[in-house]
Amino acid sequence: MFCGRGRKGKKRQVSEFKFPCQIIFVLPILSATTFFSGSDMKTTSKIAVLLLLPLCANSFSLRTQQLGLTSSSVSLGSSTTLLQVSSQHGEESMAEKSAISQQINFIEPGPNLIPPPEPDQAKLEKEFYSMMREFAQFTPKDIASIPGPRYRALYEGVAAGSNEPAVMNAFSIIFQDLMPVRIAGRMIYRKLKTNMEECTEERDRKEKELADDYGLDMPTINDGRRAYAVVMQDDTEGQMTMAALIDSGIVDTIVELLGFETFEEFVEAMDTDENEKLTFEKFIVGLQRCHDGNSCDVTCDLPEVLHEIIKRMEPLEAKKKEVPVNERKRKFSERYDEMVITFEDWEKGFPTAENDDGRMMEVLRGSFAGAKNNKIVSALKIVYMDYSALRVGGDLVFKLMSKLMSRRKSTQKDA
């Protein structure tokens, strides 16, 4: 499912915290005060603090707003550096620190092991890794903004593959050597890139509306998006109904956390029919009504409720990411599963040695590594089932690997 109208991708850039430039206006004032009044340096220092404090506070506040974080934490250019702002006793609980860390990890690209570009890199190899680098810039929040679990699984698979050097090397070789795979790969790359641009543009617009119309801050919106993603049914529209929310098994938890006495009170507060599509916006706004007290009398802390929803639904999230199969595609699904099992059996019976050379042997090693990564397996299964050109390419690669393994088996028998 695609979103809205596309736009050119924009490079995300977050400015560093800088000392306010207004200090250049403050220094002459201090000098003049000291000279004409005969004040000592101690008095002048006090004046300096009074003049500079609001300027520093303003710059610090602006930095906090740029990141969309609460006043209890600020990231200074990197998720690895956290400035903890003192709370009531000057310390934060472990739960608060964990929430801050999750917030930052959600809005920043994850780590990757994509090799840097090299001057002597082949043209097609350079093209492949350039595409990988571009996809590596997508954040977990970007991926969570994609409607539909099947599309999200594709982006998650690329992200997982970017941390598997053997898998990347195998795909690079296949991209260079097999023209059908290369053509289909370019097509999917353009499609997924455009889809991401459209969805993030629409997401940003709707998030602004949530902030302006309902007063929701960005950390709450981000937590709401994570909670929505883990309870969302496998729907082609990327939405869920109230009935699907009930089936997810999380309704009892929400009713308990928000303090409703009956299930009917919760449904009424959500203000949606049983079969009506419950978009992310309706989901987060419905929960916010409780927080504001507009639709019910209970008192709740919305961020804590969202964190608890995510925590309790994590065991079910993996199950919901399983690739659904209709009858028409069942044979493709079964064939793919058989190939994955075959690769696992090959690795157990014929482990490759480090000194094995040859491009196809590198593809085989990458296949073994990929078969161990669930996100890569799930993403490739969707591609294999949905894109005929890549299905043909996948079958071709499997045949080449089968021949290679047959030769290795014969060689071992002769030895």
pLDDT > 70? residue 25: no
Domain residue spans in the chain?
Answer: 124-320, 328-414
pLDDT > 70? residue 145: yes
What pLDDT sits at residue 279?
82
What pLDDT sits at residue 239?
58
Give the residue from 193, 236, 184 showing the smallest Cα distance to 388: 184
Could you tell me if residue 195 is left (phi over 0), alpha (psi between -120 and 50 degrees) or otherwise beta? alpha
pLDDT tens-digit readout, 52-105: 444 444 444 444 444 444 333 333 333 433 334 334 444 557 767 777 888 889
**Within 10 A of 50 (CB to CB), how many other CB atoms are there?**
9
pLDDT > 90? residue 201: yes
pLDDT > 60? residue 215: yes
pLDDT tens-digit readout, 290-339: 655 544 433 456 777 787 777 776 655 555 455 555 676 888 999 999 99
Mean pLDDT of the chain: 74
Tell me how many degrees the CA angle 324-384-386 measures, rounded to the nearest 5: 65
Mean pLDDT of the region 376-386: 94
Q: What is the pLDDT confidence band of residue 199, given thresholds at 50, 70 and 90? A: very high
- Residue, of 164 and 47, whose pLDDT is higher: 164
What pLDDT sits at residue 34?
46
**Within 10 A of 237 (CB to CB), how many other CB atoms are there?**
10
* Model-wide pTM > 0.75: no
Query: Both tokens of residue 240?
Result: 């869920």
Helix (H, G, I), strand (E, B) or coil at 207: helix
Distances (CA, A) of 107 to 68, 99, 102, 132, 172: 10, 13, 9, 19, 28
